[in-house]
Amino acid sequence: ADRVAESRARWNSLDVGQRKPRSAGEVARMGSLETRDEARRLVDSARHLEAYQGDHVMALLEGGESTRNVDRDYIARLTVMTESPEYRSAFQQVMTNPHPVLSAPEAAALRSAEEFRRAHETRGMVEGTPTAGGYGVPVL
């Protein structure tokens, strides 16, 4: 009973299992506050982050003097897009294997994140990956 009450208080739900990865369209339709709240929940629930790593992500989401020029809404949306076991697994395979074999959910998670980045980033035309990056490293 205590565990159920704790789950309800923390998550407003009994469902604390893995969530289905969100599509780029779903994330685009979310309000800014909803997106930021979900990103905060994801950071809070991440068990594999060191405390300082979680603090850094939270600072980016919350804002402050040192993150004045950071688009917090974009960071929150990208966190929501890339925080799923499917995306993390796909990212690891793509970065470590020249010929990755992705499952359908892994490919869908990677595709959705790429569609989101393309829709929300403007860059000069370059060939390959510029020095500014281009990879959606899983935050959590």
Structure-block tokens of residue 128:
């390959």
Residue 128 pLDDT grade (very low, low, confident, very high; cuts 50, 70, 90): low
Q: Where are the domains of the chain?
A: 19-120
- Assign residue 128 a region: left if phi > 0, alpha if psi is -120 to 50, beta otherwise? left
- Euclidean distance between CA atoms 2 and 6, whole angstroms: 6
Instruction: Identify which has the larger pLDDT, 112 or 6.
Output: 112
Higher pLDDT, 124 or 136: 136
List, for residues 91-125, the tens digit of each pLDDT value: 899 999 999 999 999 999 999 888 888 877 665 55
pTM over 0.75? The answer is no
Would the CA dihedral through 58, 71, 84, 9 be positive or negative? positive
Average pLDDT of the residues in 76-101: 87
